[in-house]
Structure 1
């Protein structure tokens, strides 16, 4: 019994081993490479597969999904002889499992070495500044070279990205200084532009203010001139009316030469009035007026005077002697005042002006 049980157990183990070697389950997005006696036979798709036990063997299980591989930074010399460190990231996918298995021993290592050589070839023809600003151009060139080289390996390179381009510390410091200088330059330019615009706006404002001020002054001057003109016109009209009224009153009163000479003498003391009056001029007609006044008041008219006013016969008779005495006294006071003014201030010679000689007083009618 024990020997039979041992045989049954051995047969069961053998059956399980045969089944496990016959039935192969391939996961999704995987491909199994089957070899028979060391030679490629077939590729197992995803799912349940049957192979010949002890004859067929699944040598490799290839991942068909897109893979991401990041390579460490590599030193690269640019066209301007600067050493920079560039690290890359590659996205690739196996499209032919058989070629990826038998055409290349290690396709990841091959992609890494090909990436470094292609990157040095592309970046070596660029300056540092061009390389820093042309990442898209480098990515496109690198992807094209890798895709054409890995096509025979059954690999498709979908995308290549540069993770970083690190210049030397000295170059970074110089670039920072350059960028700082550029920013300072732009700041100074912007400040100058702002000052220029501000000066222009201020000048425009001052110009507009000056124009408005001049326009206002012009309007004010025009209005002032118009007001002065109206005032002068009104003043002249008033003076004209006053002169006309006085002239009319004088003509209505019918004054004679005696009254005019007396008024002329009364105006003489006013010539010397004032604190600043150091020199005053006596007209040449003064002697004529004094002679006429003396001749007029020194004689007593035969007919009782030259009064043109009609005599009221009903009024009481009044003696005219005191009146004549008062008139003579007033004339004497005027002469004394004229002499005092002449002795107080120097007299400047005056050019006599030709005038019409005053009319002679009317002769008294003979009795």
Structure 2
């Protein structure tokens, strides 16, 4: 019986010792702080790690988290300056820097931060219209952070950041804003389209202008070159005609023609006169028989052609064999000189062929006095 009592007493003593040890040794986690009270009054703040307290006298009342915390508050209704209600969601980043103040200066610092945030939002947004509220998030954030820092400093809390998650206007206002935004986009699209068409028209006009200028310049140069080519061709033709006239006159002087040669040429031209389908009637001169008999010996003298040619043959200087083309535009005077030279050569050839004034020309034709000298006698009937 005595042994059982001793064992019970030993068990009670061991249990008391364990309880005392548990009350004496307190382990505080990292980034935590323990608030110790002695008989209901603040005694000390336990840091992280192993700590010894007086059992049954000291008590760890609160364990404060010293890490930065994030709290998202539910949407709060705020009225803007233009009497529109918007729903604003906020997020607060804060950190406890004084555990004692956070424990004894405020009962619930999270609820206090939420209420200060709501009232500050109403003050800030109440001075803005809806357009400013939607576009001034940074201004609202800065205002909230300044007010919260000032209000929570005595609570041992430091507000790091304040963020606006969303600003939701009423559905009717949202629909109106969407229509306005759609109209604004349509307006900008129309403006951009008009500017594009204007720019396209300007570029097209500029292209047409440059094309017209280039075409006009091309036509001008083409006309200039064509005029130069026509001018040089005319010069070449004039020089060629002059050369041909000089050659013909030179050949006439070299051949010394007489009446027999001219009669022979006259007979050669007769078939050509009769050529053609339209020549239905061919009038044969009465002198054809005489021409055939003497080939000009019995024909009356032709004006300007002597019966016999005496004297030496005089050569006519025909000038250069190759025609000279004016190379410059202002050489019309040279063309005139060439034409004058051709006319001088022709005059010289005529003066050489007729050294003296010819006698009065005799009427060539029939010797019948009843026939008019200017009238061609009719052809004999076949």
- Asked if TM exceeds 0.5, the reply is yes
Within the alignment, does 1:328 sit opposite 2:330 as a pair? no
> Could you give the per-residue CA deviations for residues 190-215 of structure 1, whole angstroms, max 9, x where no partner exists?
22222222222222221221122112
Maintained 8 Å contact 2:257/2:309: no
**2 CA distance for matches of 1:184 and 1:39?**
71
Other structure's SS at 1:335 match: coil
Label 1:306 to 1:86 Cα distance change in 2 as closer, same or farther (>3 A).
closer
Label 1:188 to 1:306 Cα distance change in 2 as closer, same or farther (>3 A).
closer
**2 CA distance for matches of 1:182 and 1:24?**
67
Within the alignment, does 1:223 sit opposite 2:225 as a pair? yes
> Could you give the per-residue CA deviations for residues 224-247 of structure 1, whole angstroms, max 9, x where no partner exists?
111111111111122223334445
Please list, as runs of the form range in 1=range in 2, the aligned pairs for 1:96-175 lying within 5 A after superposition. Answer: 96-175=98-177
**1 CA distance for matches of 2:160 and 2:253?**
129
Q: Which residue of structure 2 lines up, in the alignment, with residue 188 of structure 1?
A: 190
Label 1:247 to 1:43 Cα distance change in 2 as closer, same or farther (>3 A).
same
| Structure 1 gap segments, 5+ residues each | 276-298, 311-325, 339-367
Please list, as runs of the form range in 1=range in 2, the aligned pairs for 1:70-109 lying within 5 A after superposition. Answer: 70-109=72-111
Label 1:255 to 1:81 Cα distance change in 2 as closer, same or farther (>3 A).
farther
**Deviation at 1:16?**
0.8
Q: Which residue of structure 1 lines up, in the alignment, with residue 236 of structure 2?
A: 234
**2 CA distance for matches of 1:109 and 1:255?**
147
**Deviation at 1:337?**
8.9
Q: Which residue of structure 1 lines up, in the alignment, with residue 308 of structure 2?
A: 308
Other structure's SS at 2:375 match: helix
Q: Which residue of structure 1 lines up, in the alignment, with residue 40 of structure 2?
A: 38
**Deviation at 1:4?**
1.1
Maintained 8 Å contact 2:86/2:167: yes
**1 CA distance for matches of 2:252 and 2:36?**
155
**1 CA distance for matches of 2:97 and 2:372?**
151
Label 1:79 to 1:255 Cα distance change in 2 as closer, same or farther (>3 A).
farther
**1 CA distance for matches of 2:306 and 2:50?**
168
Q: Which residue of structure 1 lines up, in the alignment, with residue 293 of structure 2?
A: none
Q: Which residue of structure 2 lines up, in the alignment, with residue 207 of structure 1?
A: 209
Maintained 8 Å contact 2:258/2:307: no
Label 1:337 to 1:155 Cα distance change in 2 as closer, same or farther (>3 A).
farther
Label 1:306 to 1:223 Cα distance change in 2 as closer, same or farther (>3 A).
closer
Q: Which residue of structure 2 lines up, in the alignment, with residue 361 of structure 1?
A: none
| Structure 2 gap segments, 5+ residues each | 279-298, 311-363
Please list, as runs of the form range in 1=range in 2, the aligned pairs for 1:61-72 lying within 5 A after superposition. Answer: 61-72=63-74
**1 CA distance for matches of 2:36 and 2:306?**
171
**Deviation at 1:217?**
1.2
Please list, as runs of the form range in 1=range in 2, the aligned pairs for 1:331-342 lying within 5 A after superposition. Answer: 335-336=375-376
Label 1:332 to 1:93 Cα distance change in 2 as closer, same or farther (>3 A).
same
Label 1:3 to 1:333 Cα distance change in 2 as closer, same or farther (>3 A).
farther
**Deviation at 1:13?**
0.9
- Scaled by the length of structure 1, the TM-score of the pair is 0.71
**1 CA distance for matches of 2:230 and 2:41?**
128
Aligned length: 289
Within the alignment, does 1:19 sit opposite 2:13 as a pair? no
Other structure's SS at 2:90 match: strand
**Deviation at 1:108?**
0.6
